[in-house]
Amino acid sequence: MARADTKEIFETLPVPRAVREMALPMIFSQIIVLIYNMADTFYLGRTNDPFMVAGVSLILPVFNISVAFAALAGTGGSTLISRLLGRQREDEARKVASFSIGFGLVLAAGFSLVMLFLMRPILTALGASGNTYTYAAQYVFTVIVLGGIPTIMSNVMANLLRSVGRSRTASIGVTMGGLINIALDPLFMFVLLPRGKEVLGVGIATLLSNCIAFVFFVSVLVKNRRDMVIGFRPGIGLPERESLKSEFAVGVPAAVSMLLFDLDYMVIDRLMSGYGDMALAAVGIVLKVERLPLNVGIGISHGIVPIVAYNYASGNHERMKATMRYALRLGLIVGAASIVLYELFAGQIIRFFIAEPQTLTLGTHFIRARILATPLMFCSFFIVHQFQGFGKGGYAFLLAVIRWAVLNIPMLFILNRLIGMYGIVWAQVTADVINVIISVILFRQYMKKQGLV
């Protein structure tokens, strides 16, 4: 069944429809995940307590680290599985899938233990103050310490399912978890727990929703274990050495890219905390709100990777290039539209989350600067995802280092020193202009070298 789905989507459907089949579920699940993350901020904003908002905002880098671990186990494995299927090597694809799931479990358990024993120094390093530490700790304990395995493994299994064309199934699991979280937030925050425990309520709701999504994914794998290459089969043996090298060649750069992205957010939080808790709360809202169009772009980029990987491996390069061209146009349209909408309605968007005057004013100015980088950020993610599909993790790693370590993070310190608080929010677009130029040049050189242009 999974093999037939793969052939139809990856080989025979018209490109626009194939992109829709893979990307739309990914986009939808990305939006739902973002909405439930923003729902936490929205409900906490109803308390008009900026310390609660700031405390939870501090956890975004920690949560992103868990996503990086999911990328290490899931992205490298999923792109490799698509390429193996393109080469008609189903038995090896099964071994890669089993290894990826087991590796993900080890990473998830280890991260939970690290956060349990090193919570205070980590949160302090992220900028938690006496006003925000308790709230940040409540959220970390429920979502990461108790919920690390279901959170990370849901992402791993969703990635692996997409590698065989099961994008809709992956989206159902992610979406279900997100919708349940949105429904449980107000129940735990305002009904079941006493006043002052709203952050704990948000954490419990997120924990339960991630556990339910995890159970869904496990049930899908168990139900389809005979018809699908994706599954946890410890007795099947390890993949070949070349397969392991290929998986880590993509998975490690994908994880490092996420960690550098996470480091960028940490630096933003750390620098902004120097301007007070109101500024920190404002930028915390902005960093979530700006991700709506960005997540659409990521959904497009990530959604087509299995198609690109499969056709790259099978030698159908015309279909591969047509897929990339179509997806690129879609992403740029989304980026341009987001700039127009966010510039026009910046104040209303921030007010939706919090009405405290100073936080509202700062957030409005911040989002108008940050949103200008959206098309540039899409181009950056798009090119990196295509290199992942090709199995060229070295190129993806190089671009990640250039973007975050060479450009974005240094630009934060430079513009903070030169301009102050507003320099922090202008750093993204400034650095990404340079990064996109470098990325396009490198991508065109690679495609020319391979005879693909």
Classify residue 390 by burial, with Cβ atoms within 10 Å: 0-12, 13-18, 19+.
buried
**Cα separation, 383 vs 443, whole angstroms:** 7
Residue 325 is predicted with a pLDDT of 95
CA 102 to chain centre: 21
10 Å Cβ neighbour count for 431? Answer: 26
Classify residue 416 by burial, with Cβ atoms within 10 Å: 0-12, 13-18, 19+.
buried
**Cβ(139)–Cβ(199) under 8 Å?**
yes
- Tokens representing 5 are 């789905």
**Cα separation, 309 vs 244, whole angstroms:** 17
Range of the domain at 56: 2-449
Residue 61 is predicted with a pLDDT of 75
Residue 6 is predicted with a pLDDT of 64
> Helix, strand, coil proportions of the chain in percent (round to 5)?
85, 0, 15
Which string of DSSP letters, residue by residue, matches 227-280?
Answer: T-S-S--GGG-PPPHHHHHHHHHHHHHHHHHHHHHHHHHHHHHHHHHTT-HHHH
Task: Give 303-351 pLDDT, tens digit per residue.
Answer: 999 999 999 999 999 999 999 999 999 999 999 999 999 999 998 988 8
Q: How crowded is the C-beta side of 356, counted as CA atoms within 13 Å?
A: 22
Q: For the chain (length 453 residues), average pLDDT per consecutive 10?
A: 61 90 87 75 77 78 82 89 90 93 94 92 81 86 92 92 89 89 89 86 91 95 87 88 90 84 82 86 85 89 92 92 95 94 91 82 92 94 92 89 92 94 93 95 94 82
Classify residue 325 by burial, with Cβ atoms within 10 Å: 0-12, 13-18, 19+.
exposed
What is the total count of domains within the chain?
1
* Cα distance from N-terminal residue to C-terminal residue, the chain: 35
- Tell me the whole-structure pTM to 2 decimals: 0.82
**Cα separation, 439 vs 257, whole angstroms:** 14
Q: How crowded is the C-beta side of 428, counted as CA atoms within 13 Å?
A: 24
